[in-house]
Copies of this chain bind each other. A is one copy, B any other.
Amino acid sequence: MSDKIGTIGIITSGGDAPGMNSCVRAVAREAAANGAQVIGVNNGYEGLISGDFQVLGARDVGNILQRGGTVLQTRRSEAFRHPEGQRKAIEQMKKAGIDGLVIIGGDGSLNGAHVLAREGIPVVGVPASIDNDIWGTNMAIGVDTAMNTIMDAVDKLRDTASSHGRTFLVETMGRGCGYLAVMAGIVCGAEMVLIPEVPVTMDEVVEALDSAYRRGKTYAIIVMAEGANIRTADLFKVLNEKRVGFETRVTILGHIQRGGSPTAFDRMLASRMGTKSVEALLGGQSDVMTGLQGRDIELVPLTEVNAHKRTANLEYYTMARRLAT
């Protein structure tokens, strides 16, 4: 154990993701096993600025491993975007004796992490974002749970789609990254996938459905990322006018994608990343993020993480189409 870090602060920030609590637990337990103390920061960077802290001993994180959301709460913080807010946050940390920070969140949160690291605060970031749009990790915390939530919903829609001979347009999260939509396309057997990375024309979608109908498919599912170049409502209108064999219905999955008890994969990933982040801090590392690379959890410089934006793997996009044959 480093002689520098005796007390670790932990924050969940940005949009919540299932598995955040599993990570908080792992940080508290791993720190305790190393003789370090953990202080939970409530309400994200807002709580860092206002000093909204609570001690998290090994017993305090019992029974949170399986809970969705985040027990530390999370808020988006306007104040922390400005030097004044950042200065106050650092003061509060010093006053509370926090020697280093674990910051769990998405790209905005990891930008904030780098800002603090640059100011000399030892900081390790942990990627959590159901969109899987964070550079430097194969999977962010929350993605696997969101993926299974989407799949369960589409499995339900398939019951009604196949009973009525319908097309369902299913909109998933993913403003800039089509990961969830592409993967959902494969695991749900969608006829077609629409993602920000691959613009398509209305005519291509109509033609794909027409062809499915002619090939004898009795219903169809189209998975659309929120950020696809075609808007769900527009496509719905066109499909209704063109009458492509199937009636059309729309479902926007929305915020249910964020909730739920984390899957085994997410609890495991969160536990490993939490453990690794404590190891890294105690070992003197800073300005890095824990990233899943193959089977291993590696440390990736936050500058590298923040400089890129991850997008969907187009190989899977092709695979989704082939398997929908």
Q: Tell whether A202 is near chain B: CB-to-CB under 8 Å.
A: no
User: Which of A91-99, A193-201, A244-252 contacts the other chain?
Assistant: A244-252
- Smallest CB separation, A245 vs chain B (Å): 14
A267-306 contact mask (Cβ, 8 Å, vs B): 1 or 0:
1100110010000000000000000011100000000000
Q: Tell whether A131 is near chain B: CB-to-CB under 8 Å.
A: no
Complex interface: chain B residues within 8 A of A275 (CB):
319, 322-323
Query: Closest residue to A315 on the B side, CB-wise?
Result: B272
Complex interface: chain B residues within 8 A of A150 (CB):
264
With contacts A267-B187, A268-B187, A271-B186 taken as known, whether A260 is within 8 angstroms of B156 at the C-beta atoms is yes
Give the docked Cα–Cα distance between A183 and B163 (Å).
27
Give the docked Cα–Cα distance between A263 and B145 (Å).
10
Q: Are B323 and A271 within 8 A (Cβ)?
A: yes
Q: Are B69 and A162 within 8 A (Cβ)?
A: yes
Complex interface: chain B residues within 8 A of A215 (CB):
59
Q: Are A156 and B256 within 8 A (Cβ)?
A: yes
A51-69 contact mask (Cβ, 8 Å, vs B): 1 or 0:
0000000110011011111
Give the docked Cα–Cα distance between A188 and B66 (Å).
8
Q: Tell whether A114 is near chain B: CB-to-CB under 8 Å.
A: no
With contacts A156-B260, A294-B293 taken as known, whether A255 is within 8 angstroms of B168 at the C-beta atoms is yes
From residue 135 to 155 of chain A, which have CB atoms closer than 8 A to chain B? 138, 144, 147-151, 153, 155
23 residue pairs A–B, Cβ–Cβ below 8 Å: A12-B163, A16-B160, A25-B323, A29-B322, A29-B323, A29-B325, A32-B325, A62-B189, A63-B162, A69-B162, A75-B164, A75-B165, A148-B263, A151-B267, A153-B256, A156-B258, A156-B260, A168-B255, A186-B271, A187-B271, A250-B254, A271-B319, A275-B323
